[in-house]
Amino acid sequence: MILRFVRSVVFKLWATIIGLVAVVLVILGMFLLQYIDLAFSNNAYNIKLLFVITGVIGFLLTTFFAFFLSFKITQPLLEMKRAADLIAQGDYRMRLPIRSTDEIGELAGTFNHMAAEVDKLIRDLQHEKDHLAGILRSMTDAVITFDARGQTIQSNPQGEDLLKQWAGIVWEGEPDADERHGGVPGPLRELYDAVLREGRDLSGKVHVHNEVWSVVMAPLKSEQGVRGAVAVLRDVTEEYRLEKLRADFIANVSHEIRTPLSMLQGYSEALLDDIAASPEERRDIARIIHDESVRMGRLVNDLLDLARMENGHFEIKQQVVNISDLIQRVHRKFLVYAKERDIRLSSALPDHPLILKAADEDRLEQVLTNLLDNAMRHTPAGAAIELKADPAAIDGRRHIRVVVRDEGQGIPAEDLPYIFERFYKADKARKRGASSGTGLGLAIVKNIVEAHRGRISVESEVGRGTAFTLLLPVEPAQP
């Protein structure tokens, strides 16, 4: 307390006044004391005593004036200091009481006005921050902000989830990549470096496992230069897949239709030019023309059926179907074909019959026929194919599970998401003439199963075989 008073302005003012009074008294004493001794020899003592009392009263009045100044000046200044400290700590509602209309009162009013403006500014900034945070949270795209050292500054929930997913992936790159890029994930490092180097917006696509991400990255600029970058990532896997399927569909349809058309044109020209010399040759040419026209007709019919299924113009005959009898019938149908190719075809069924209360038997037979036909064409001699069915409970509902498992060449993992698409061929080397299929079988299978409110899935390992699993609800499908 004493140290604070000594360091205060009032103490300095009081010390200055005391010093001035002391100087005045000393100077007066030097001249007056001798005069008093000469002029007032009889009352010199009383006069000197009065002089001392007057000096003491002056010192007391000066001290009282100092304390008065302390109350009128120092206390308001200390209150302003405490208020400024509270505002610095975040209490922007702090206000000072105005006790006078002098300069101190005006200073307090100005301080209150400043605090009100700071409070309003902070509220506006907080509102803008909350607004921006709400926009980021509501975005379906992932937004991630990096500083110049590659550390993550801010991200929305989608960005945080993406960083967590990518955190466990080991990225290939330079040995010092982590030191130079900090927390920037591997797929974004090249684009991040380019943005910091060029200082402009850049975009691109990155592939992470089976996902495709569209990335737009913009620099964060300041007076000192580029201080970081903000990246907006959108999962375009589905769009990329659909674009790829569209291109493949156009190419495959063109290929599938062009080949029989070319053969029809060529052999019909041979007939017109009378190249066939014998009736046998003409019959062979006519048979080829007939086979290719049948093939093209089957292709067109499959395309029309698939289009009707995907557009919802597909009716399921609601009837009771014995899946056990259906599987046995399909098994017998393929048994001779399997023996000719030296393939072991077996079926496994429970002792009790498996009944679907509302299904289309013809369509389900088409499903099993397509799956077994695919298995036969991709299973080598000496291997086995198993057709199995059993009851299952899925999500509290009764289902029948049908599995078609082969020991064929298998399907690569990168092709599994696309095998139910039209004309998609996992075996890129397979020629059109290797089978009589149209490339639409699995797409039709998927649509028929989904029309029964069922599900189809596939598991495969290259060189080990493939297993297709159907889950068909026992109860009638609800619209």
User: CA-to-CA distance for 415 and 393, rounded, in angstroms?
Assistant: 29
Percentage with pLDDT > 90 across the chain: 8
- Domain-terminating residue out of 261, 280, 311: 311
Alpha-carbon distances, residue 49 vs 44, 45, 53, 55, 134 (angstroms) = 9, 6, 6, 10, 83
Longest dimension (CA), the chain: 175
pLDDT per position as a tens digit, 331-362? 988 888 888 889 999 989 998 888 988 888 88
Is residue 314's pLDDT more than 70? no
Cα-based distances in Å from 267 to 101, 263, 300, 372: 113, 6, 21, 34
Q: Are the C-beta atoms of residues 401 and 471 closer than 8 Å to each other? A: yes
In a shared domain, residues 274 and 406: no
The pLDDT of 248-273, averaged and rounded, is 75
Quick one: angle between helices 75-88 and 103-138, nearest 10? 10
- Phi, psi dihedral angles at 445 (to 5 degrees): -55, -50
Is 114 a domain residue? no
Whether residue 51 contacts residue 29, with contact meaning beta carbons closer than 8 Å, is answered with yes
In a domain, 200, yes or no: yes
What average pLDDT does this structure show over 206-216?
86
Q: What are the structure tokens assigned to 127, written together? A: 């509102």
Q: Are residues 389 and 449 in the same domain?
A: yes
Domain C-terminal end among 189, 205, 235: 235
Report residue 274 CA to chain centroid gap: 67
- 46 falls within a domain: yes
Check which CATH number belongs to the domain holding 149 and give it: 3.30.450.20
Whole-angstrom Cα distance, residue 62 to residue 49? 20
- Residue written as tokens 């509270």? 86
For residues 37 and 154, membership in a common domain is answered with: no
Each residue's pLDDT tens digit, 399-417: 999 999 999 888 888 888 8
**Highest-pLDDT range among 21-35, 52-66, 164-178, 366-380:** 366-380
The band of 90, judged by pLDDT with boundaries at 50, 70 and 90, is confident
**Predicted pLDDT at 433:** 43
The predicted-structure confidence for 278-311, as pLDDT tens digits, reads as follows 788 778 878 888 877 877 776 777 677 767 666 6
Helices (H) and strands (E) counted in the chain, each on its own, are 13, 12
| pLDDT tens by residue, 425-454 | 655 444 444 444 556 778 888 888 888 888
| 194 plus 257 within the same structural domain | no
What is the distance between the alpha carbons of residues 423 and 441, in angstroms, rounded to a whole number?
9
Residue 151 has pLDDT above 70, yes or no: yes
The band of 58, judged by pLDDT with boundaries at 50, 70 and 90, is confident
266 shares a domain with 337: no
What integer is the mean pLDDT of 174-197?
73
Tokens of 269: 């020209």
Mean pLDDT within 386-394: 90
Strand order in the sheet with 152-155: 152-155, 142-147, 225-235, 211-222, 202-208
Q: Is 381 part of a structural domain of the chain? A: yes
249 in the same domain as 381: no
Would the pLDDT of 28 be above 70?
A: no
Residue 415: DSSP 8-state = G
Tokens of 414: 């990168």
pLDDT of residue 29: 65
Residue 51: name the closest of 68, 65, 69, 30 by CA: 30
5 pLDDT higher than 70: no
The CATH number assigned to the domain holding 426 equals 3.30.565.10
Structural domain range at position 247: 240-311
Task: Kindly state whether residues 82 and 214 are assigned to the same domain.
Answer: no
Ramachandran angles phi, psi of 182, nearest 5°: 60, -120
Q: Would you state the torsion angle of the CA atoms of residues 297, 372, 392, 395, taken in this order, to the nearest 10 degrees?
A: -40
Is residue 129 included in any domain, yes or no? no
Provide the pLDDT for residue 374.
85
Q: Is the pLDDT of residue 33 over 90?
A: no
For the chain, the C-alpha Rg in angstroms (whole number) is 47
The pLDDT value given to residue 470: 92
How many domains does the structure of the chain reveal? 4
Residues 330 and 432 in one domain: yes
CB 116 within 8 A of CB 94: no
Give residue 431's pLDDT. 43
Q: What is the mean pLDDT of residues 370-385?
A: 88
State the pLDDT at residue 435.
46
Cβ neighbours of residue 280 closer than 8 Å, sequence gap 6 or more: none
DSSP 262-284: HHHHHHHHHHHTT---SHHHHHH
Q: Is the pLDDT of residue 418 over 80?
A: no
Q: Is residue 286 part of a domain?
A: yes
Separation of alpha carbons 182 and 149, rounded Å? 6
Please, which pLDDT band fits residue 270 given cuts at 50, 70 and 90?
confident
Look at residue 158 in the predicted model and tell me its pLDDT.
Answer: 86
Q: How far is CA 194 from CA 140, 183, 198, 217, in A?
A: 26, 16, 6, 10
Helix, strand, coil: what percent of the chain each, to 5? 55, 20, 25
Residue 120 belongs to a domain? no
* Mean pLDDT over each residue of the chain, to the nearest integer: 79
- pLDDT digit string, tens, across residues 63-77: 777 666 666 676 777
Question: 206: closest CA among 229, 189, 230, 182?
Answer: 189
Q: Between 89 and 62, where is the model more confident?
A: 89
pLDDT of amino acid 401 = 93
Would you state the pLDDT for residue 386?
A: 92
Shared domain check, 146 and 212:
yes
pLDDT at 430: 42
Q: How far is CA 25 from the centre of its chain?
A: 85
**116 domain residue, yes or no:** no
Q: What percent of the chain has pLDDT over 70?
A: 77
For residues 420-424, average pLDDT = 71
Give residue 66's region: left, alpha or beta (phi > 0; psi -120 to 50). alpha
Which of the given ranges, 24-33, 112-121, 125-134, has the highest pLDDT on average?
112-121
Let me know: does 32 contact 54? Beta carbons within 8 Å: no
Between residues 50 and 323, the one the model is more confident about: 323
The whole-angstrom separation of Cα 416 and Cα 426 is: 8
pLDDT at 478 over 60: no
Q: Which of 290, 311, 332 is the last residue of a domain?
A: 311
Based on the fold, state whether residues 228 and 362 are members of the same structural domain.
no
Confidence of residue 228 (pLDDT cuts 50, 70, 90): confident
| pLDDT at residue 182 tops 70 | no
Looking at residue 83, its amino acid is: A
* Cα within 13 Å of Cα(180), Cβ side: 12
